[in-house]
Amino acid sequence: MAVANKNQYWNSRLTGENPASPTSTNENDAWSGSGGSASNGAWVTTNSTYAIGTATDSSMVTMFSFNTAPDNGAVLMKLDNGTKKVEVKSKGNLTQLDLVGDTTVTISDLDLGMAEANAVPLLLRLTLDASHNAKLYVHEIINDTDGNAAFYSVAAASGGGGTNAFSNTSGSVNWFAVYFSKYGAFNPEELMLSGFAQDTLPRMGLSIVDAIRSCTRPYIKKYVDNSSIVYGYDLSSQMLNRMKTPTIHVVFTRVSAPEFAALGGSKVNQFYDIAIYVTTKGTNYEDSYRTGLNIMGEVFDELYTTTGLNATTDSLESYDMALDSKMDDDETICVHQLNLSYRRRISMIQR
């Protein structure tokens, strides 16, 4: 998948109310089902199943805790694309869950009963794509501190043809939130829970990464590996040393909306700043300098032609560039920086 566009969103968002008649959100497809009651900001169920139909690619995010654990093997979350299905099941305790497809993966060290004071309910994201690949993310974490994948993956199981659903037929579960999208199997970077967050980091920052990775210009395509074109969450020397040079780091630095573009605040002109760092390394600093400038030039040309000229989506308003220079005899690393300022008109209705 790629970053969700304006027509790909959470088509159902529950925040603790009755799934059959939600009241607190402005965009909801209907869930079918019954049973449960509202308590302390959650919809509490002991024997209920709520379904929302099938989708080729889909994502479901739930925030929940157990008052009492459902029986071992009880289904809590299910995604079904009409051919294959994947399920999250209870293990009958307060510390483990199973991700069940063609194979079963057990996730441990969970706090499903919120035993600790001020504990946060468990946040799970389950995705299923058209190729029948399923992934489960815990607390929206994609990678661990070493950069390794921290999510769980299985191939979906046969027996589809049912519906997407969240449920428990035993125990007592507090459903604090359930978000569902029929528009794609989105990871936490591709479709965030907050509309404001989605309009900033993914659509303004991560989409730039995707655009550069898709570039076919010679320096970017042949000199820079896709794994070295990343969003700059971590610009520490320790992280940079793990990556193969040349590297391109994209950083979203600032967003502002000086005034609303429509009465009532339904639309805003949003201004945002993107910083792009190109790092090259070599024994000859002059060659590193020129190589970095060539890469940076292709980055600018690509973004200018694919994003900056589209006034209905992104308008490139200004830019500036700072070119590095060798200041020490032992210096072999060159870092050039390009700053871009964009303007985008955004609808604020879907919140």
In angstroms, the CA 264 to CA 283 distance is 59
* 47 touches 173 (CB < 8 A): no
Tell me what pLDDT residue 31 has: 93
Tell me what pLDDT residue 309 has: 79
Parse the chain into domains and list their residue ranges: 12-181, 195-347
In angstroms, the CA 214 to CA 151 distance is 25
User: Which tens digits make up the pLDDT trace of 147-204?
Assistant: 788 999 999 999 888 899 999 999 999 999 999 999 999 999 999 999 888 888 888 8
Tokens representing residue 139 in the block: 């607390």
**What's the CATH code, domain 12-181?**
2.60.120.560
Tell me what pLDDT residue 241 has: 76
Tell me what pLDDT residue 328 has: 72
| Letter string b/e over residues 288-319, b meaning 16 or more CB atoms within 10 A of that residue's CB | bbebbbbbbbbbbebbeeebbeeeeebbbeeb
In angstroms, the CA 13 to CA 192 distance is 12
**Domain range 195-347, CATH class:** alpha beta
Tell me what pLDDT residue 27 has: 62
Tell me what pLDDT residue 26 has: 58
In angstroms, the CA 226 to CA 31 distance is 40
Tell me what pLDDT residue 51 has: 96
Stretches where the chain sits below pLDDT 50 are: none
